[in-house]
Amino acid sequence: MTIQSPIYLSNLILFSLMLVTLFFSTRLIIYVLKRMWRKNKYKLIWTPISSVERRSNLSYEEFVRDYANIGKPVIITDSMKNWKAMTKWTIDFFRSEYSSTNFLVTDVRNQTQVDMTVAQYLDQMSADACDNFLYLRSLRISSNPKLYEDYKIPVYFPDWLQKLPQKLLIKYRLDLYDLYIGGKDTSIGLHSDILDSPAWVALIDGRKKIVLFTPDLIPDQKDILSYGKDETFNGDVENFPLYANANPVEVILEPGEIIYIPPKWWHHVKNLENSISMNANMINEWSSEIVYSCINQEYSTKGKILPLILEFPWLGRALFAMGLL
């Protein structure tokens, strides 16, 4: 009995290692197969539109079928009813809580930070004296956790990034939930969103005009720099011939509404009134392969690691805890 115990123990250890190896090998095979399936199912597609539908009482299944899966924008009118932010997030609130912060104002023409406190910006905004290209737009939700309880991510927008530690997201600039505060006539010009990811914009206060273009629009740098000068993008065809064949769709976003913008849709945003909004980008089942492809083009290593840690969040948490990420 005593002589056989070491043999029994070694066999048990060997069997356990075999089970662990089998488990992880199976998971890796499933991971590869799932990615192959997603690449075939969730290719970049878009649906030309003449207007953006407004929907209420929309189920998650309807959203995926009618909008996410076919690359079609939609405005959702009833997902913010119970948000504390709708009454709490006011100019006075941000003046009180963040007045001395001096690194949040951005010149959107060149994405540079402006030496101006939040209080100074809000004073200009209240006096209708804002520069049309200055925007308070870098107030990351992840850096201000006390704001978490003021909103709830709508069921339509699951986000795999939220499975990872916030400090990891901040380190790699993947904390993609922002507060935007802008004065009347301020503009965030023609752009598509970071990492080719889909976006949603929840309007707390004010009104926004959003001009949308399908992803087949490929502007060059002078087109992008022209924003704010020709908001319809159809006026100066001689200098910007690309827009001769473009079909922009314009919408007005009202307080309490959320607009979903599919991957790679170009859009121009202008505040018709002083406004406060929450903007978010996400990675999920129907957008992941599009985002991974974008990351791979610029950061090959990150493009290989990110899919793994989103598939196995425990791995990301462990590597981050050990200082390997």
Domains located in the chain, CATH noted: 44-166+175-285 (2.60.120.650)
- pLDDT (mean) for 257-283: 93
pLDDT at residue 275 tops 60: yes
CA distance 91 to 290: 37
Structure-model confidence comparison of residues 39 and 137, the more confident one: 39
- pLDDT (mean) for 257-286: 92
Nearest to 276 by CA among 291, 250, 256, 260: 256
pLDDT at residue 151 tops 90: yes
**At what angle are helices 300-311 and 313-321 packed, to 10 degrees?**
120
pLDDT at residue 153 tops 90: yes
User: How confident is the prediction for the chain on average, in pLDDT?
Assistant: 83
Phi, psi of 210 (to 5 degrees): -125, 125
pLDDT at residue 57 tops 90: yes
Amino acid at 15: F
Span of 134-138, 232-236, 299-303 with lowest mean pLDDT? 232-236
User: Which residues contact residue 8 at a Cβ distance below 8 angstroms, ignoring those fewer than 6 apart?
Assistant: none
pLDDT grade, residue 200 (50/70/90)? Answer: very high
Q: Is the pTM of this model over 0.95?
A: no
Amino acid at 293: S
Question: Which element (helix H / strand E) includes 119?
Answer: helix 118-126
- pLDDT (mean) for 6-28: 77
pLDDT grade, residue 54 (50/70/90)? Answer: very high
CA distance 241 to 234: 9
Q: What percent of the chain is predicted at pLDDT more than 70?
A: 85
pLDDT grade, residue 233 (50/70/90)? Answer: very low
Residue 258: predicted pLDDT: 98
CA distance 80 to 60: 15
